[in-house]
């Protein structure tokens, strides 16, 4: 799990699947968790959950230990700070998406059951009213420098997150309903909520616990600028960062829990999809999320399949891709225009031509197999004639006969901000560009390197943007869709509908899953009507893995690399 990747979604981003630029992984959740909380509230007093006898798991099998796991990241993360990072790649390297490699949380998700279980926590308790959460930290949990993990470290991490001077506003929003905390002893902390929140246990259990003696600061800017040399309690240590080339983690031989199998995890920076596939084929990469075109081609190649695991599955964390329309732009203030944009984009044709029908046209932000998704909503159809009618109604007509629509003397010519150096993404954007031109709308591509792109995104310096969000079995739309998050949050397109705000707030405070999902269904319907995004596709996870790696299994929450190993006689790195 983890606090971000899990949450950002927030953020994050960050990660991001846009146009196959991002490899998306994210928070993982299930209704059963909330049903359990509801049962606690209604039927029981204080109930305690425990990790067992409190002792760490046994060390890994020596016959499975060794070798390296070499993975790809599409670009370098701006930071490896566990509180301030906002992108997928940082989460993959040191957060929950990477299996809590460097930093750990109190709780984590079980890949098979999709339910929370103990990690740094020895046990946790929930009060009968669901407002108090008591966590007890394991006695045998240590940071990589040998210092015990204590209540003070947990409290420091929480206080850092909510500090308004720390660059973690998007994360802090998930803790806005925490009324306070009480330090019971060196290992026990009680968090008190001001109101019910359906993700309280996940959010509190997902705080990345960081060593206070390493990260404490006098000035917030000092912490915000702490981007490298991360120190945590996880099974891997930060080794080195070769700028522009790779980030390397080394096995923590003094890890308090079960020792990981791989000696090193190497993240190679490869921006180009073709170059990444070539690296996989030359065995300088072990794991690669691939494009549909690559998947279709090589999954039919017998020799390739003899050397690589070929895997495809629907994963809630893969999220969705979209084109977002900045509501403050003169072009996209009117919902009629936004509806027209969606009618113009032939998503089925794009899916067939570029994605080999491996993706799925989506209607909103919720996982299509999940209970939050409104099953009655159908995608807006490809209908250029209806799009023209909507544009005419909104006042965008070709008044001067030059083939381009205009309004009040302004031609409908806008820029789509994208991430550069992605062939598949560029092809998709060019298809959209051609489709728009058929109805007199001109779109220019405006590509940027990742760090510049994210800066423009956070500053909302774009007219339209193409991106992707990670997903979950059940997600909280507050950070992306509540109007309070237009400034400082992830509501980059400026979506602002009072009824949507009301539904988000009500749903967050509703513990009963059936009642909560009815609220989310109405919220989904509002998004569908307003079209702040042209929701593009749910993406199927398409992965190639070197066959020297064994025990590769698809779980309810996807692939768990902690289980993987390389037999001694197949190990490549020593």
Same domain flag for 340 and 204: no
Among residues 485, 441, 446, which one has the least CA distance to residue 464? 446
CB neighbourhood size of 438 (10 A): 12
Give me the sign of the Cα torsion angle 77, 116, 125, 234: negative
Alpha carbons 156 and 143: distance in angstroms, whole number: 15
Contacts of 338 (CB under 8 A, 6+ apart): 325, 332, 530, 531, 532, 534
Same domain flag for 395 and 516: yes
The answer to whether residue 450 sits within a structural domain is yes
pLDDT digits (tens, 9 = 90+) for 414-434: 999 999 977 888 999 999 999
**CATH code: domain of residue 126:** 3.90.76.10
The answer to whether residue 347 sits within a structural domain is yes
The answer to whether residue 493 sits within a structural domain is yes
Model pTM above 0.85: no
The answer to whether residue 398 sits within a structural domain is yes
Contact of 14 with 457, CB cutoff 8 Å: no
The answer to whether residue 88 sits within a structural domain is no
Pairing of strands 320-325, 533-538: antiparallel
How much is the pLDDT for 7?
39
CB neighbourhood size of 242 (10 A): 11
How much is the pLDDT for 45?
32
Residue ranges for the chain with pLDDT beneath 50: 1-59
Same domain flag for 211 and 336: no
Backbone angles phi, psi at 491, to 5 degrees: -85, 70
C-alpha distances in angstroms, 510 versus 37, 299, 505? 11, 45, 9
Contact of 80 with 238, CB cutoff 8 Å: yes
With 0-12 / 13-18 / 19 or more C-beta atoms within 10 angstroms meaning exposed / middle / buried, residue 304 is: middle
How much is the pLDDT for 53?
34
How much is the pLDDT for 155?
99
How much is the pLDDT for 23?
36
Same domain flag for 106 and 215: yes
How much is the pLDDT for 170?
80
**CATH code: domain of residue 350:** 3.10.105.10
Q: Which domain holds residue 367?
A: 320-540
Structural domain ending residue among the three candidates 204, 225, 246: 225
Same domain flag for 522 and 374: yes
Contacts of 127 (CB under 8 A, 6+ apart): 46, 133
The answer to whether residue 179 sits within a structural domain is yes
Backbone angles phi, psi at 70, to 5 degrees: -110, 120
Q: Please measure the distance between the N-terminal and C-terminal CA atoms of the chain and give it in whole angstroms.
A: 31
Compute the residue count for the chain: 574
Same domain flag for 516 and 391: yes
Among residues 23, 1, 26, which one has the least CA distance to residue 11? 26
Helices (H), 330-487: 335-344, 347-355, 384-393, 423-437, 450-459, 478-481
The answer to whether residue 251 sits within a structural domain is no
Same domain flag for 338 and 196: no
The answer to whether residue 121 sits within a structural domain is yes
Element (H, E) at 277: helix 273-281
Total count of domains within the chain: 2
pLDDT digits (tens, 9 = 90+) for 548-561: 999 999 999 999 99
How much is the pLDDT for 280?
98
Among residues 259, 310, 324, 367, which one has the least CA distance to residue 27? 367
Structural domain ending residue among the three candidates 179, 199, 225: 225
């Amino acid at each position: 799990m983890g606090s971000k990747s899990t949450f950002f979604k927030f953020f994050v981003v960050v990660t991001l699947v846009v146009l196959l630029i991002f490899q998306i992984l994210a928070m993982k959740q299930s209704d059963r968790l909330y049903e359990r909380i509801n049962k606690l509230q209604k039927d029981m007093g204080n109930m305690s959950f425990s990790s067992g006898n409190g002792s760490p798991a046994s060390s890994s099998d020596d016959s499975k230990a060794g070798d390296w796991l070499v993975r790809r990241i599409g670009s370098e993360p701006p930071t490896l700070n566990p509180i301030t990072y906002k992108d997928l790649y940082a989460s993959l390297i040191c957060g929950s998406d990477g299996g809590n490699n460097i930093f750990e949380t109190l709780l984590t998700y079980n890949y098979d059951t999709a339910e929370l279980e103990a990690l740094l926590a020895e046990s946790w308790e929930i009060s009968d009213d669901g407002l108090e959460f008591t966590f007890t930290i394991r006695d045998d949990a240590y940071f990589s420098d040998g210092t015990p993990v204590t209540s003070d470290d947990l409290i420091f991490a929480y206080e850092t997150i909510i500090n308004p001077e720390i660059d973690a506003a998007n994360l802090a929003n998930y803790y806005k309903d925490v009324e306070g905390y009480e330090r019971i002893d060196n290992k026990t902390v009680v968090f008190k909520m001001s109101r019910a929140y359906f993700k309280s246990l996940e959010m509190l259990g997902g705080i990345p616990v960081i060593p206070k003696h390493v990260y404490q600061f006098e000035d917030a800017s000092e912490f915000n600028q702490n981007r490298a040399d991360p120190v945590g309690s996880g099974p891997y240590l930060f080794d080195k960062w070769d700028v522009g080339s790779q980030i390397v983690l080394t096995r923590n031989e003094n890890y308090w829990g079960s020792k990981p199998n791989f000696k090193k995890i190497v993240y190679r920076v490869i921006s180009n999809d073709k170059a990444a596939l070539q690296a996989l084929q030359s065995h300088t990469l072990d794991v690669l999320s691939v494009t549909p075109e690559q998947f279709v081609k090589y999954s039919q190649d017998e020799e390739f399949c003899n050397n690589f695991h070929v895997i495809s599955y629907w994963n809630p964390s893969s999220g969705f891709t979209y084109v977002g329309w900045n509501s403050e732009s003169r072009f996209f203030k009117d919902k009629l225009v936004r509806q027209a944009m969606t009618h113009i984009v032939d998503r089925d044709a794009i899916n067939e031509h570029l994605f080999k029908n491996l993706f799925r046209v989506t209607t909103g932000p919720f996982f299509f197999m999940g209970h939050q998704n409104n099953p009655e909503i159908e995608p807006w159809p490809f209908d250029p004639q209806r799009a023209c009618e909507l544009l005419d109604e909104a006042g965008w007509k070709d008044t001067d006969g030059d083939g381009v629509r205009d309004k009040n003397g302004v031609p409908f010519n806008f820029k789509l901000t994208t991430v550069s150096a992605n062939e598949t993404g560029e092809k998709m954007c060019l298809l959209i560009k051609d489709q728009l031109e058929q109805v007199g709308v001109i779109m220019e591509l405006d590509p940027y390197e990742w760090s510049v792109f994210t800066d423009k995104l956070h500053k909302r310096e774009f007219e339209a943007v193409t991106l992707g969000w990670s997903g979950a079995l059940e997600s909280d739309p507050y950070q992306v869709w509540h109007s309070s998050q237009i400034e400082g949050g992830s509501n980059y397109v400026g979506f602002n509908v009072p009824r949507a705000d009301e539904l988000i707030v009500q749903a967050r405070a509703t513990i009963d899953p059936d009642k909560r999902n009815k609220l989310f269904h109405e919220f989904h319907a509002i998004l569908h009507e307003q079209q702040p995004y042209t929701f593009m596709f749910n993406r199927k996870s398409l992965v190639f893995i070197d066959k020297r790696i064994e025990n590769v299994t698809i779980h309810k929450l996807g692939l768990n690399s902690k289980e993987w190993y390389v037999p001694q006689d197949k190990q490549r790195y020593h």
